Each structure stands twice: as structure tokens, then as C-alpha cells.
Amino acid sequence: MDYMAPGIEETPAFFFMQHNLDYQNWISKTGHVHTLVYKSFPCLPYAMPHLIQIIQATEETCFLLHFSLMGVPKAALEQTWGSNKPMVSLVVWTFCCQIIEAFPQDQGRCLSQVFLNVLLTSLRNDELIEIHGDHENAFHTIINSKSDTLWNALEVLLKAADFCTTHSGLSWKTSKPSLRIILGSGPAKDEWEKIIHDLRLLMKRLTSKFSTVKLLITDLPDTVSIQLVPPSEMLVFYDEERQECLNTLHFKNLRYDKIAVHHSDTLAWLWKSPEYKLWISFKHPDSGLLFIEGKPGSGKSTLVRYFADNFTPPSDAIVLKFFYNTRDGEHERDHRNMLRTLLYQILKADESFFIHFQSIYRREGGGRIEWCSKDMKDILRACKTHLRPRMIYLIIDAMDESACTDRTDIVQFLHVLSAPALNNRECMVYIFLASRPINELQSSNWSERQVIRLQEKNRGDIERYTHNLLQNKDFTSVNSEVKQEIEGYILKFSDGVFIWVCLVLKELAEEVMNDSRRSTLISFLESLPKSLESLYECMLQRLTRNKGQARIDGKRILQFCLFSGRAMALVDLKHALAIPGLAEDEEPDYKVWMSEIPGDISKTLTHCVGGFVDVKAST
């Protein structure tokens, strides 16, 4: 009666079913769970044949009874069993046959007589006379006995059987065997509830015969209700506990969406770089960690986003990512939130990993848990040893912006986590980590083959970006020879700092509007500071020379952009600037407010804050 559905044993739901805490407690001889009920698991109606194979292969001193109607058409059942017989008769007879078939033929014949004798003694004389000589109907009359009689006959049969002499040849003479009972798909609500109730009563009466008696119900219908008393009786709803756990881990990492998207024709060198190719092949003997080191403004975060957006992992791989940042508050720098995010993403990607979370999650109060770093690191280490190995890619940006506290510990932890797998039964962990040069990373004894120094790799990107930008409409009045000279100058002094190049070209575009002659442009270029920090200072000093309303608006624009909880829409900024900004100012009426809204916000931004604010199309 068992239907062997192909591929069931490979599903995450089936894996979790046989590895979760409650099942492990149920299958263990010393575990306190004696009744385990699964509900709403998508794979379990078809899982019993696989489960039986696993239990029979691993539990040497366990006798197993099982019943399921999965895969049995109703018409076929009625043809072989009849439509008017109570389902309890089929359940008990199925168990009886499994017991008898476990023994040699002569012993099995004796045991069948034991079972039938109990049923015959319950019949009235007129019933015995009626079936005498009518072998065809005798069985159907006997097996239609009352429910209590059937369960009593099964109890007598189990107690009479000598399980030390079954076909299996197992030696249980020094200890009692254990009994496992599995119920799968069954009959309608009322009949199923009665069968489960009577079976649980039988289990209590068998404790003298067996070391343990345990029941697993793999497919309890939603309409069936049974009373369970934890912790010895457990009901497991499919995915309920994992979803609750996910809610406790959720953290919204804000930085990713704010990172500039790469410019066309840039960063493609990554895939061909020897450091990347060695890392992705996981041939480095010490670590699966690739370190992207770069000066401030060299484009580290843009490269990390480019990798996250364009990397094509193997089909069964899991990609996790976290972007530290100082701009959105301390919680975005907190290592605990980084660990929470990674755990959330891995648990969201594959439900079978929940087996590594379950014990800590329950120990710390379930939905009331306060996750600590030690527990989260323990779970990540356990995930690496997952019995269904997968490739795991961690993408971590801006380690230099993380909290200084425990940073050394986190870096060391990432090193250990990305160590090569001990065997092919462990997950392989690849880490793509970007940061400015910081002491915690400088002392990590990196192999040169593990480090990409961005300012040594992005010269071609800067050259292409500069060339392409000089071809747009802002520079149409500049002749081609001067453009070539500008390209050479910028490439010479950029020193790999991409943001410096972007700011210089933006400043130059404004200068071109005033004068596009060579001498003016080259002189202006030479007047700009060569370091990023000095260039920012120069731009700020220029803003301080603004007077009157332009200076007030510039200050307010920067405040709005810096302290807004999200990127501001241009219309929001226009409306905000129309409201008086000083505490002593009176609130304007609607007409006055409308008259103060800037007509062209883009020109206002250029005039008041220069290159400090970027305008991007919404995504």
C-alpha cells in the first residue's frame, strides 16, 4: 500500500522531518517524546516508504509497524477490502500481517492462530455456527469484530511474539526491543480520531513487553483533532517554527540600495583577474576569503554591488550579503546585526538549515529570543557542517565602517568559517570582503593571491569613464586635443580614486560653461587639489562663499539629505525648501508657500551645494 514517490528524500521538507529535534528525540531510545505528529508537511503523504527504509536500516533493535492509504485508489481498496468494513479492521489486520510475516513460516502460523483465537472467542454461538464451513465469509465476519476486540487481539499477538527469533536474525536477548508505529494517510475524521485514541491506549499496555513504544503520525488531516501533552507528545506544524525564528532574525540592511551602480564598460576585469579566478576555484590552501582592499573613494562598494548583481552562482548555492555603513546609525555598524542578517538569509534560502537553529532558538525562549554573537557564530559554524552540502557565498562590504568593538574577533571568525572544507560532506564557504586598509585586516597574514588592491586594478576603468564622460554634451565646446590632454592629466593624478575623478569632471563641466579655452581649463584643473580629502575641503570652502539665500538653502539641502531616513525625492526637497527654516519664522500660508517653491530644483542644487548632492533616477 506504500507509494514510493521519486525524489521525496531530496526535498528540504523531508530532510528537516527526519533531522529536527523532535524527530531525533522520538527515534532515540532514551528520548522523552513517545508521540510525534506532523501536520501540513507537503512531502509527508508520500514519505512513509523512505522513512521505513531509513528506520529499518538504522534502528537494529526496533520492530516497526506502519499503515498508510497513500497511493491506494478508493476503487481498488473497496474491491479488495469491501466498502462496508470499518477502517480499524484494515489497520489492525495490516499490523497483524506485518508481525506474522517477520517470522519463519511455522512460527507465523502459530501467531496467526493466537490472533484469530482472540477474535473467535468474542463471537456468539450463532455467529460461530454461521461461519462454520463457510471459509469465504468466515474471515470477513471475524475481522469485522468490535474495535476493542481487534485492539485486544493485536495486543495479545504482540505480547506472544518472540522478537528474538524473527527473520532479521537480530539478537535482542540482552535487552527488550523497541516498538515504532507509523501512521500515514488514513480514513475520514471520526474514524481516524477513534483509531488514534485506541492505538495510544494500546501503546500504554505494551510498555512491559517493549523497552519503548512510540508513535509517529506523518499526515494528520486538518480536520482531525487530537489532544497532546508536551513534552512527551509533540505536534509539529510544517514550517511554523522556522517562520517564527525568521521573524526574530530579520534586520533591514539599508546600504545596498544606496550604492552607486557601476558605469558601463567598467569592472569587467574582475572576472578575469587571477586573484578572483583562484578564489572562485577554491584552490587556495588556507582560506576561501577574497579581500578587496581600496583607498577611500576607489569604488570598493560599487565593485561589491557589481559583484552581487552580476555573479552567477551554481544552481544549488546560497548567496548571503551584508553592507556595513556609518551613515545610517550604529545599528548598521553592529556585528550582531551582520550575523543576524546572514543567518536570516541562509534560513530563508533553505528550510533544512533550521535543524542548526532549533536547539538554541528553543533554549533562549523561542519568539522572545535575544540573539547573542556567540550563539549566532555557533549556528554559522554548524551550518558549514550541514548534511546536505551547498556552496555558500558571503558578500560583506565596508568592514572599515563596522564597529571597532569585536572587529578583530569577527575577522578571525570569517577566516575560520572560510577555511577549506575537511571533506566533501561539508559546505564550502566563499567570502567576498571589501574594506579600506585597517589594522584588523592588515594583521591577518593575507596571501598576495587573496588580495585585490582596487587602485592597482581600476586604471582602465578610470580611463574609459573619463573618455566617455568627455564625449557628452557638457563638453561639446572643448576640442578633441584638449580632451585628450584632460584625460591624460586626470589619469596621471587619479591614483585609483574613482570619486576624485567624478568630482573633478563635475567641477570641470561647470567651468566649461564659463570658458572652454585650453589655457583656462588646464589652469583650472591644476588648481584643484590632488587628494580626495583636500578636494572636498576646497568644494566646501567654495560653498561658504555663497551669500544670502543661496547659503541658507545650501545648508538646509545638506541637512535634509544627510538626516533624511531615505533618499529624498526632488519634489519633497522643493516643498521643504519653501518652508521657512528658522525657528522664529512664521508659518506661511498656502499661497506664500507655493510662491517660494524653487522653479528648477536642479539648478538650485548646482548653485547651492555643487557636487555634494547627486540626483539619480528612482528604481
Nearest to 395 by CA among 456, 271, 309: 309
Nearest to 528 by CA among 565, 563, 500: 500
Helix residue spans in 548-589 (DSSP H): 548-563, 570-577
pLDDT tens digits, 200-234: 999 999 998 898 999 999 878 777 888 888 889 99
* Cβ-based neighbours of 573, under 8 Å, separated by 6 or more: 557, 560, 601
CATH code, domain carrying 416: 3.40.50
- CA dist., res. 110 & res. 95, Å (int): 16
Q: Looking at 236, 265, 295, which one is the last position of a domain?
A: 236
Query: Do 552 and 533 share a structural domain?
Result: no
- CA dist., res. 423 & res. 274, Å (int): 26
Cα separations (Å) of 247 from 344, 360, 361, 400?
9, 15, 12, 29
Query: Do 286 and 273 share a structural domain?
Result: yes
Q: Looking at 491, 513, 545, which one is the last position of a domain?
A: 545
Q: Global pTM? A: 0.83
Other beta carbons less than 10 A from residue 250's beta carbon: 10
Q: Looking at 545, 567, 599, which one is the last position of a domain?
A: 545
Query: Do 180 and 65 share a structural domain?
Result: yes
pLDDT tens digits, 534-593: 888 877 777 777 778 888 888 888 888 888 777 788 888 888 888 887 767 777 788 888
Query: Do 75 and 125 share a structural domain?
Result: yes
- Residue 594 in any domain: the answer is yes
Query: Do 573 and 470 share a structural domain?
Result: no
- Residue 116 in any domain: the answer is yes
Report the domain count for the chain. Answer: 4
Long-range contacts of 138-141 (CB under 8 A, 24+ apart): 140/82, 140/85
| Average pLDDT rounded to a whole number, residues 316-339 | 94
Q: What is residue 167's predicted lDDT score, i.e. its pLDDT? A: 46
Q: What is the mean pLDDT of the chain?
A: 86
* Cβ(299)–Cβ(293) below 8 Å: no
546 — phi, psi (to 5°)?
-65, 150
How many Cα atoms sit within 13 Å of 108 on the Cβ side? 12
- Torsional class of 7: left (φ above 0), alpha (ψ -120 to 50), beta (otherwise): left
Is the pLDDT confidence value at 173 over 60?
A: no
Other beta carbons less than 10 A from residue 248's beta carbon: 19
Is the pLDDT confidence value at 528 over 60?
A: yes
Q: What is residue 125's predicted lDDT score, i.e. its pLDDT? A: 75
- The percent of residues in the chain predicted with pLDDT above 90, rounded, is 48
Q: What is residue 3's predicted lDDT score, i.e. its pLDDT? A: 45
Which range marks the domain in which residue 595 is found? 546-619
- CA dist., res. 171 & res. 155, Å (int): 23
- Residue 242 in any domain: the answer is no
pLDDT tens digits, 112-145: 999 989 988 888 777 676 666 666 677 777 888 8
Q: What is residue 171's predicted lDDT score, i.e. its pLDDT? A: 46
- Torsional class of 139: left (φ above 0), alpha (ψ -120 to 50), beta (otherwise): alpha
Query: Do 583 and 506 share a structural domain?
Result: no
- Residue 229 in any domain: the answer is yes
Is the pLDDT confidence value at 4 over 50?
A: no
- Residue 1 in any domain: the answer is no
- Residue 3 in any domain: the answer is no
Is the pLDDT confidence value at 172 over 50?
A: no
CA angle, 304 as apex, 301 and 310 as ends, to 5°? 140
444 — phi, psi (to 5°)?
-90, 10
Task: Give Cα 101 distance to the centre of its chain.
Answer: 45
Query: Do 600 and 527 share a structural domain?
Result: no
| Average pLDDT rounded to a whole number, residues 168-173 | 48
| Average pLDDT rounded to a whole number, residues 340-354 | 97
Q: What is residue 197's predicted lDDT score, i.e. its pLDDT? A: 92
Fill in the DSSP letter of residue 286: S
For the chain, give the number of residues: 619
Query: Do 554 and 538 share a structural domain?
Result: no
- The percent of residues in the chain predicted with pLDDT above 70, rounded, is 89
Task: Give Cα 35 distance to the centre of its chain.
Answer: 30
In the block, cell 473497496 appears at: 78
Query: Do 399 and 533 share a structural domain?
Result: no
Query: Do 311 and 445 share a structural domain?
Result: yes
Query: Do 443 and 397 share a structural domain?
Result: yes
- Residue 243 in any domain: the answer is no
Grid coordinates belonging to 196 = 488514534
Is the pLDDT confidence value at 344 over 90?
A: yes
Query: Do 527 and 396 share a structural domain?
Result: no
Task: Give Cα 558 distance to the centre of its chain.
Answer: 38
- Residue 244 in any domain: the answer is no
